[in-house]
Structure 1
Amino acid sequence: MASKRKAISVDEKICVIRAIEKGEKKSDVGRRFELSQSTVATIWKNQKTIQQAALEGNLSKKLRKPKFEDLDQAMLSWFNNQRQNNVPISGPIVKAKAEKFANQLGIIDFKASEGWLGKFKHRHQITYGKMNGEARDVDMNVTNNERKKHRKEVGGAIIQICI
């Protein structure tokens, strides 16, 4: 009998799909992988989504989409553009930009929290690291001047507004 609430990786799901494609019975596959029949049936039903996730390199255990897909895509495009231009990026900058995009997209119940940021970074395999090579050639005086242009006082504190 299969154990309760077993998390199955995308790789394991791909193995289940391949076993069924080779002609193995779903019940035999379930026993071999210690999965219930309904779990095997759900994996088989969602095989296209699972295979697409594997092709895209998404090997997380859960294949959930973000709540605001249009915001997520806008943020990813912006982030990739900033990286291509060797612009230094930090968490507060990403969160401020996400809030701005949410307002532009008319999303009123969005909060760029630390949780949202962590999930965004995990979803797109984003890390902040020390920039090497050409990335170091960015003129920090220009960058700092741009930052100063976009400061705003809120509740007695000065916050950075990034565009």
Structure 2
Amino acid sequence: MDKSIKGKRTMITLEVKKKIISKHESGVRVSDLATQFAMPRTTISTIFKNKDAIKGASVAKGVKTLTRKRTQMIEEMEKLLLIWITEKQLSGDSISPSIICEKALSLHADLIKNTPGGSAEGEIFKASRGWFEKFKTRSSIHSAVRHCEAASANKLDADRFVLKFKDYVESQGFVPQQVFSCDETGLFWKRMPKRTYITKEEKALPGHKPMKDRI
């Protein structure tokens, strides 16, 4: 075999692997497949050894590479996590990626703890950023901005105040440099983030009245 072919290392897509398996099962020899696909024979043989997993694998549309299969424990955890996200959405709570990952770790730990025989004790789940991005794609949750409740502000009274204040400024002879807005600084320790994650069925969130407990 050509040395340039032997030394070449490329990513083999799932689609190509399935094609190689199909050709081999139809009678094409390993040496001919190696030449046709410009791969070492050892690579072709490795594909055959894993043909059952490759043939049974299904990936999302547009994804061609085969990644490590999620365990049943993780799949169960993600189902529970999506239910929890829906509950948070209905109760009006805001959740961030870090909160979701923390909950995922908690749910996974609970599932392992409650698994008879401890068969899943050796399973490692880190709730990494990469996992979160893939979970977001699988579950179709998306980020949304939570707006303040429109009804909490009385626009009519605000417009009246503007006119009243304008008359007051003119009657007192204030110049523009003497009119400014000043607000205090405070820590709103119960205030939730404006951005949260919601399920795919929801396009937007209803307004809500934020808690204003502050120091």
Pairwise TM-score range, normalised by the shorter structure: 0.5 to 0.7
Deviation at 1:49, TM superposition (A): 0.4
8 A contact 1:10–1:61 mirrored in 2? yes
What are the ranges of 5 or more consecutive residues in structure 1 without an aligned counterpart?
146-163
Summarize the Cα distance change of 1:43–1:70 in structure 2 as closer, same or farther, 3 Å threshold. Answer: same
Deviation at 1:4, TM superposition (A): 3.1
Q: Which residue number in structure 1 is paired with residue 105 of structure 2?
A: 99
Q: Distance in 2 between matches of 1:23 and 1:92?
A: 52
Structure with greater contact order relative to length (CA < 8 Å, sep ≥ 6) = 2
Deviation at 1:92, TM superposition (A): 2.4
Deviation at 1:32, TM superposition (A): 0.7
Deviation at 1:97, TM superposition (A): 1.3
Q: Distance in 1 between matches of 2:82 and 2:136?
A: 12
Summarize the Cα distance change of 1:134–1:27 in structure 2 as closer, same or farther, 3 Å threshold. Answer: closer
What is the number of equivalent residue pairs in this alignment?
A: 140
Matched, 1:25 2:29: yes
Q: Which residue number in structure 2 is paired with residue 76 of structure 1?
A: 78
Q: Which residue number in structure 1 is paired with residue 142 of structure 2?
A: 128
8 A contact 2:34–2:40 mirrored in 1? yes
Larger Rg: 2
Q: Distance in 1 between matches of 2:34 and 2:72?
A: 37
Larger helix proportion of the pair: 1
Q: Which residue number in structure 2 is paired with residue 13 of structure 1?
A: 17
Q: Distance in 1 between matches of 2:141 and 2:35?
A: 39
Q: Distance in 2 between matches of 1:111 and 1:97?
A: 12
- TM value normalised by structure 1: 0.62
Matched, 1:117 2:123: no
Match of 2:202, as an amino acid?
A: A
Summarize the Cα distance change of 1:85–1:110 in structure 2 as closer, same or farther, 3 Å threshold. Answer: closer
SS at 2:142's partner residue? coil
Match of 2:78, as an amino acid?
A: L
Summarize the Cα distance change of 1:119–1:133 in structure 2 as closer, same or farther, 3 Å threshold. Answer: closer
Match of 2:100, as an amino acid?
A: V
Q: In percent, how many aligned pairs have the same letter? A: 25
